[in-house]
Amino acid sequence: MTQHILNISYLIASITFIVGLKMLSNPASARKGNLLAAAGMTIAILATIFLYQNSETGEHLHNHLWIFGGLLIGGIVGTLAAKKVKMTAMPEMVSLFNGMGGACAALISLIEYNHISHIISYTPNSDTHSFQSTILIIAIGLIIGSVSFSGSIIAWGKLNGKIKDYSFSGQNILNLVILAVAIGAAGYIVVHPQHQLIFYTILLLSIIYGILFVLPIGGADMPVVISLLNSFTGVAAACGGFLYGNKVMLTGGILVGAAGTLLTILMCKAMNRSLKNVLIGSFGGGATTASGGAASGQGSYKEISLSDTAMIMSYANKVMIVPGYGLAVAQAQHTCHELEKILTEKGVEVKYAIHPVAGRMPGHMNVLLAEADVSYDKLLEMEQANDEFATTDVVLILGANDVVNPAAKTDPSSPIYGMPILDVELSKNVVVNKRSMKPGYAGIENELFFKPKTSMLFGDAKKVLQDLCAEIKNI
C-alpha cells in the first residue's frame, strides 16, 4: 500500500513538472507554472522521506533530523539569496545554483560508487560484471555533473567580473584530450570497478575539463553557455534517477536536460551560430573603445538633449523601447514603466522590442520588465518587433548594444555577422541611452551609433528616464 501511494505521489509530481514547464512558455502563466512545479517537487520530497522503502531490506529512510536540517538550511539560504539578488546579478545566481545541481549529481555518483566498491572489497569472489550497468551510469553522472559544476562556477565568476576570459594556443586540443582520457578511464572503470584511483582521476579530469571548457568563452556567448550547462545538470540528475529507480527524479532530469538542450539550440539560432562555433570560436574578449566624437573611422556621432528627446517622444504616434543590460544595471525598469504610462496617457502607443539574447541570460529582459509589472502584451519578440519598426516614430534603446548592431548584417568580418538583430534603423528616429561610447559585451563597435537617424543620450538609465518623465509631463 505504501509503495502504491509513493508511486502515485511520483506520478502527480511528474505531471506538475510537465504542466509547469508548459506554463513557463507564456509570461502570463509563468509564475503559476513555477509554483505548480515547486509544489510537485515538495510532494516528491515528502513522499520519498516518509514513504520510501528499500526493496531488499524493507527499511524506511531514517535520520530525519539530518534530512530536515539540510532542507531547512538549504531553504533559508535559497530564499534569502533569491530575495536579495539584484536583477543584474540574476544570471550569476542561476549559474551558481545550476553548479550546485551539478555538484549534487556528482556527489551521488561518488557515494554510490563507494557503496559498490565497498561491496566488491568485502565480498569474496563477487561478480563485478553484475555491477557494470550501474557503474556506467555512475561514471556518466560523475563526468557530466562535475563538468556542469566547475563550468558553472567559472561562468558565475565571468559574469560577475571576478574571472576574465583566458585562452592559450592549443587549448581546444588539450580540452579534447582531457575529455577523451576521462571517457576512456570511465570505460575502464566499468570493466574494472575496483580501481578507485581511476575513478577519482575521472572526477579530477572532469573538473579540469569544465574549467578549461568555459574559461575562454567570451561574455557575449554566456547566455548559450548557461543554457548548455543547465542541460548538463538535467542529464546528470536523470542519471541519479536511473541509479535509484526514482521515476520523478528521472522525469525531472529529462525535462531539464531536454529543455536546456532545446533552449541552447534556439539561442544559437538567434545568434545565427552553431554550437560548435560558440564553444570554439567564441567572441566577447578584447574590446575596442571609442572616444570623443569619432571612432575607428566610423564617423561622428551626434548627441541629443533631454528636452529634444522628450519633445519627439511626446508628439510621436508610436514609440518602441529596446531594453538591454544597461537598464538592468541601473535598476531602471520601474522608471521605464513609468515613462511608458506617461506616454500612453498622452496617446502614444508604446511597446517593447525583446531580443532573445539581450542581457546576460535567456529571458533576462522579460523577467526584468515583469518585475515592474509591464503588460505582457506590450512585449514583442524580435520577429514581431522587426515588422513594426518601419511604422515607429521613435526607438529608445536603453543599454542594448550588440543586438541592434547593423554590423551583423553588413560586415562579413564582424564576429556577430549573420546574427539576427532588431532592425531599429528602419524607424524614423533612434535615441540610444548609454553611459559612454564603450562597446557592448561582445567587445565590438556599434555602427548604429554613427547612423544619420541615431542620436546619443548619455547618462545613467535611471536618472535619464526620471528626467525624461519630468520633461514629458511639462509638455
- Chain length of the chain: 475
In angstroms, the CA 415 to CA 115 distance is 50
In angstroms, the CA 9 to CA 26 distance is 27
- Partners of 303 in the beta sheet? 456
468 residue type, one letter: L
Angle (CA) 137-140-144 rounded to 5° is 140
Q: Of residues 165, 402, 423, 467, which has the active-site annotation?
A: 402
For the question of residue 402 being annotated catalytic, the response is: yes
3-state SS record for the chain: CHHHHHHHHHHHHHHHHHHHHHHCCCHHHHHHHHHHHHHHHHHHHHHHHHHCECCCCCCECCCHHHHHHHHHHHHHHHHHHHHHCCHHHHHHHHHHHHHHHHHHHHHHHHHHHHHHHHHHHHCCCCCHHHHHHHHHHHHHHHHHHHHHHHHHHHHHHHHCCCCCCCCCCCHHHHHHHHHHHHHHHHHHHHHCCCCHHHHHHHHHHHHHHHHHHHCCCCHHHHHHHHHHHHHHHHHHHHHHHHHHCCHHHHHHHHHHHHHHHHHHHHHHHHCCCCHHHHHHCCCCCCCCCCECCECCCCCECCECCHHHHHHHHHCCCEEEEEECHHHHHCCCHHHHHHHHHHHHHCCCEEEEEECCCCCCCCCHHHHHHHHCCCCHHHEEEHHHHHHHHHHCCEEEEEECCHHHCCHHHHCCCCCCCCCCCCCHHHCCEEEEEECCCCCCCCCCCCHHHHCCCEEEEECCHHHHHHHHHHHHHCC
**Contact at 8 Å (CB) between 98 and 227?**
no
Here the cell at position 299 is: 564617423
Active site positions, annotated:
402
